[in-house]
Amino acid sequence: MIALEFKKGQGLGNQLWNYVVLRKIAEKKGLEYKILNINNFKGKNFLEIEFTNTDRKFDIKLFDIYKEKLIFDNELECYVNDFDKNVFKIKKDTLIEGIFQSEEYLKPNIEIINKYIKIKKNLKKYENFKNTCILNIRGGEYKSHRNLILPKSYWVQAINNMKKFNPNLIFKIITDDYKYASCLLPKYEIIRGDIEKDFINLYNSKYLILSNSSFGYFPSKLGVKPKIVIAPNQWSRFGNKLNRWVSPSNFYKDWLWQNTNGEIIKDNEINSSILNSRKIYSTYNVSTCEQALKRFSLKDIFPKKFKKKVKSLLSNIFPLFIG
């Protein structure tokens, strides 16, 4: 058996990536699988997934743990992940942990995700966006990382690029941060709703402008694909001066990738950038753990409840900068 745990605070996109990779490993190696802490699954009200394929009892304390390879880029001050081929070498009775966001895990056919994940029937019907482009804007905690959050120029330039494909498009926003999005792009309507409504509306959209968040991947890939998807070049370090892809696992071939000049990047340029990034990261040879890389901050001396209240107050005053 192989297993994984759905953790508190884990995003739906991360949970679904972990799940489909677990299923693929189990299927490829002919193993039983099980997901722990299924009550933490954020899509339980609108998505059908199979949490296990066995009734066999087991003791998770006896399992080995396999952690997906993760690289720390000291120059860009971020973690980098890519396809880890060794995950398919794991033995039975192993708990897997990682990001697992590469389509390489799903090959030869990424359409397998439609076997692993189903949209529940008889859901409330949502709008079919025939001539609407959805901007999936990520705010929240992203605002605490100025190198991670996307600038206003990305969204404005992507809107202009979308108009080249369909000049009659109407643009609307789906976001985790209403105040931030309304200040960032005040003239566009925000479609308000819970995680179910956001997911299903993205699923039904024909034109998408995405942020560098895993949340948008599955609604855009399940079922009938959208006509056009625009995403930020170099993913979580958009327009970085080193021209590195962070992370290479998040490059998806059927999306269009936009740079800081508002240009849609040619395939050969993207491939060159990814190959160069992988070449550089292949020279990183220091193994460590995430805990060892954590740095002390003065914020660490304050209780979590206090920090949460202060953050909530400041986010109301400065919605563009604090999440």
Q: Any idea what the Cα angle at residue 130 is, between residues 124 and 131, rounded to 5°?
A: 130
Q: Tokens 């743990």 sit at which residue? A: 65
- Concatenate the DSSP letters of all residues of 32-51 into one string: -EEEE-GGG-TTTTTEE---
- What tens digit of pLDDT does each residue of 200-245 get? 999 999 999 999 999 999 999 999 899 999 999 999 999 999 999 9
Q: Any idea what the Cα angle at residue 315 is, between residues 312 and 318, rounded to 5°?
A: 155
User: Left, alpha or beta for 248 (phi > 0: left; psi -120 to 50: alpha)?
Assistant: alpha
Confidence of residue 291 (pLDDT cuts 50, 70, 90): confident
Token pair, residue 259, equals: 């740079």
SS3 content of the chain, % helix, strand, coil (to 5): 40, 20, 45
**Mean pLDDT score of the chain, rounded to an integer?**
92
- What tens digit of pLDDT does each residue of 128-183 get? 788 999 999 999 988 888 889 999 999 999 999 999 999 999 999 999 999 999 99
